Amino acid sequence: MAPSQASYAPSLDNLIKSFNSQPLEASIESLIFLLKRRQVKGDECARATAHILRQVVAKSKWHDVDQLLSRVQSAGSRLVRAAPLEPVIGNIVRRVLGLIRDEASEDRNNADDVTSEAASDIQTLGPSAPPPLPRPVPVPIRPGPSAISAGMQVSKSMFNLLSVADPGDSPATGASTPLSQAQPASVHALRSEVMDGIEEILDEINQADDQIAGFSDIQIHPGDYVLAYQPTRSVERFLVKAASKRRFTVIIACLDSPNSGAAEPPYATLRKKLNTAGVNTINLVSNGLMAYIPRVNKVIFGAKAVYQNGGLLVDSGCCIAAQAAHEHLKPVIVLCPVYKFCPEDPSDEVSRGELGTPSSYVSYANGPGVDALEVENTVTDYIPPELVDVYLTNLGPQTRHHLASILADHYKTEDIGFSLQLGEP
């Protein structure tokens, strides 16, 4: 919900700023702390994860690709464990791992290609990052096709699996690839390239909302009644963008407890923006939505994550909207940037939903109530894929039948279960 985002956003920004000055371990710990207290959630998890992994790449000690992978994996799995219901964290970790593998294999395969294009691409680096160097590295050439090298990487990570017990030390084993003998220069180059890659991921995260909003005039037609369920920032941007081109009506619904929005009606800023653009808004304060769906042309909400079967993790209540719209054959449009696609299936935990604080519904001042009630306030929902019509990503609209190709483009199979590969942090 928008107001609370505003309240904790500065703390995250401060945290990200502090990453540069703090030791790595302290940064990770403070982020884990925020994650555990659910003070960083949703889209911000992605940003925070990317930032912290950038620090991991920049600051931690590593001498070869294996070590780097293992560092990222261990930091990543700690973050994932801190917030098990924020799959976005895992996605970013996987993206970074895939990035490292790509860079490493590029190094290996194109070792002759000394004039790496990366050197020219690099613009800014973190202060702790060494200046980018061209790579005059005589890495031993692996003569096989890339498929073989990929296979070797899989075996590498399995060796990592065995060397978990001592991840701090170099897990260099006899089976290590020639990269383990790589010179410091190569390490520097890899470091900078990986950090560039992470910057790109961050850019992607930051631009995703705008890119999605670019599709708004395709999806929203003049005169539509659009039901926006608990509009997230992406949805808000989408609607505001659409409002600049179309005249329609937005029905905003949310599941907030009546107490929490006492100060001002919820989504006041969004409504103001839309109203000035000439778009009517109606704030629904209603539990059920079936009554309004006949009036509505389409339902829009943002997802917290998209699983590989097409199922969604969403704020609780969205499921009601999706279900009601589905029954009335109204399209359900889900805004989900590509970085929210998880190469996983939803766990039981996900489909049961996360429990939030009951105190906004049953006050602790109400003694008999507290005694008598076993309150279950579910704050996340799982939406099965059948209920969703359009997945609107920053790469364009998708249907659930083609999600596999997106996943294949963005993740490496060996990284999918990364958090399981490492036991203890």
* Site of interaction with another protein (CB under 8 A): 225, 249, 255, 257-258, 265, 280-292, 294-295, 316-317, 319-320, 323-324, 327, 351-353, 358, 361-362, 368-369, 372-379, 381-382
- Closest contact distance (angstroms) between CB of 40 and another protein is 21
Nearer to another protein, 215 or 229 (CB): 229
- Closest contact distance (angstroms) between CB of 281 and another protein is 6
Q: What value, to the nearest 5°, has the Cα angle with vertex 209 and ends 21 and 282?
A: 120
Residue 195 contacts residue 99 (beta carbons within 8 Å): no
Nearer to another protein, 218 or 372 (CB): 372
Alpha carbons 171 and 162: distance in angstroms, whole number: 9
- Closest contact distance (angstroms) between CB of 379 and another protein is 7
- Closest contact distance (angstroms) between CB of 246 and another protein is 17
Nearer to another protein, 166 or 374 (CB): 374
Residue 312 contacts residue 333 (beta carbons within 8 Å): no
- Closest contact distance (angstroms) between CB of 12 and another protein is 25
Alpha carbons 150 and 241: distance in angstroms, whole number: 43
Nearer to another protein, 248 or 339 (CB): 248
Q: Which tokens go with 104?
A: 């490493």
**H or E element that contains 281:** strand 280-284
Nearer to another protein, 187 or 296 (CB): 296
Q: At what angle do helices 24-36 and 2-21 cross, to 10 degrees?
A: 170
- Closest contact distance (angstroms) between CB of 169 and another protein is 45
Concatenating the DSSP letter of every residue in 207-255 gives: HHHHHHHTTHHHH--TT-EEEEES--HHHHHHHHHHHTT---EEEEE--
Nearer to another protein, 173 or 275 (CB): 275
CA dihedral 167, 172, 173, 178 (to 10 degrees): 150
Nearer to another protein, 272 or 402 (CB): 272
- Closest contact distance (angstroms) between CB of 380 and another protein is 8
Nearer to another protein, 39 or 283 (CB): 283
Residue 24 contacts residue 72 (beta carbons within 8 Å): no
- Closest contact distance (angstroms) between CB of 234 and another protein is 21
Alpha carbons 143 and 95: distance in angstroms, whole number: 27
- How large is the C-alpha radius of gyration of the chain? 23
Residue 226 region by backbone torsions, left for phi larger than 0, else alpha for psi between -120 and 50, else beta? beta
Nearer to another protein, 57 or 252 (CB): 252
- Closest contact distance (angstroms) between CB of 89 and another protein is 22
Nearer to another protein, 202 or 362 (CB): 362
Concatenating the DSSP letter of every residue in 10-59 gives: HHHHHHHHHHHHS-HHHHHHHHHHHHHTT-S-THHHHHHHHHHHHHHHHH
Alpha carbons 20 and 39: distance in angstroms, whole number: 21
- Closest contact distance (angstroms) between CB of 54 and another protein is 35
For residue 365, the tally of other CB atoms under 10 A from its CB is: 8
Alpha carbons 360 and 356: distance in angstroms, whole number: 10
Nearer to another protein, 139 or 324 (CB): 324
Residue 89 contacts residue 46 (beta carbons within 8 Å): yes
Alpha carbons 195 and 125: distance in angstroms, whole number: 7
Q: Which tokens go with 267?
A: 């989504």
- Closest contact distance (angstroms) between CB of 271 and another protein is 8
